[in-house]
Structure 1
Amino acid sequence: MVYKLIGRVIDVRGKCHAGHRVGEQIDLTVFDEDNPVRGIDLCPFFLNNLFPYLCVLQFEGRFPWESESNVFVTSCPDVENRVTIRVERVEKIVTSP
């Protein structure tokens, strides 16, 4: 099965200095052999904290504390301007050549 990861910003407390906004959707797919674009459009400090969790979720892992096996919710490390994101693993549509 091939998956992609979609993040949606669900809360911003204060002012995000990276410009993230509630409702923003971000492709957080760690590895996609069909699309070798490098880089994820996310605050680098947030991405640093998030990366290990993205790897787990993309490769069929799950987090026992989450009620949905294909989702996790987390917040950035900036406690004064906290951004919260919901990351969902979705099946990638593969088209035949």
Structure 2
Amino acid sequence: MADEKQAFDVEMSKDEVADVVKDINRFYSEVTIIKVNGECPYGHKEGEKYLTTGMNHAGICGGLWHQIQPSIIALQYEGGPVWAEKPGFFRGLCSEMGRVQVEVQRKKKDDTKTLRTEAKVRDMTGKGYPALDKYKVSLEILGVERHCMWAHREGQTFEIDPFNIGGVCGALYWQAYHFMEVLFGGGSFPWEVEEHIIHGACPDIYNQTIFRLIREER
């Protein structure tokens, strides 16, 4: 019937939300940098370790995160890539011609608190990327439906680029990454009213966060 709500439209109680949060936070993935070919422009070094979840990028380079985040999500919910050598494990490469190689291992958390790691923003201008020298892109939170698990709220603004994720939820950044590349490339979507703005939404259809990316010249 038209007035019947889909399962993801039904409001959850606080206890139900708490149970979901506990289930989400059963595992984390330890990302280890095992090889760097040449010099990583972001500064990754062999031997570095990052404790991640699908939302917590832990300060990993955005390009590397974009490559491995979907499989980290899979590990978090006891799945994984079909080509992985063993359960709860995979190897990955960064998007810059595989310059950085990683191993990712799922591990059980000692508690059910949301894992959050403060990430420092690194200045990537003047390093041979003309688009980053010419433009900056900001991500603005326009609205949140129900309970954002990363605690995003309307009005927040973050400067992001293909290297820096900053304080943005890792899942939201992954969703925005494709749009961000359009803007940094000087492009636009024909359905947007303003050519320097792209709208999007996070992948959580229940707790959906709506955002827009804004390109400005430096």
| TM-score class normalised by the smaller sequence | 0.7 to 0.9
2:138 matched to which residue of 1?
Answer: 6
Pairwise CA RMSD = 1.5
2:200 matched to which residue of 1?
Answer: 74
2:182 matched to which residue of 1?
Answer: 56
After TM superposition, give the deviation of residue 58 of structure 1 in Å: 1.2
Any conservation in 1 of the 2:137–2:215 contact (CA below 8 Å)? yes
Larger proportion of helix: 2
Question: How many corresponding residue pairs?
Answer: 86
Per the normalisation by structure 2, the TM-score is 0.38
Gaps of 5+ in 1: 32-37, 93-97
1:35 matched to which residue of 2?
Answer: none
Structure 2: distance between partners of 1:15 and 1:60: 34
Once the two structures are overlaid, the 10-residue window that deviates more, 49-58 or 64-73, is: 49-58
Asked if 1:27 is matched to 2:153, the reply is no
Task: Give the structure with higher Rg (CA).
Answer: 2
Q: Could you say what secondary structure the match of 1:57 adopts?
A: helix
Higher relative contact order (Cα pairs below 8 Å, separated by 6+ residues): 1
Runs in 1 of length 4+ with deviation above 3 angstroms? none
Q: Could you say what secondary structure the match of 1:51 adopts?
A: helix
After TM superposition, give the deviation of residue 43 of structure 1 in Å: 1.0
Per the normalisation by structure 1, the TM-score is 0.81
Structure 1: distance between partners of 2:165 and 2:200: 20
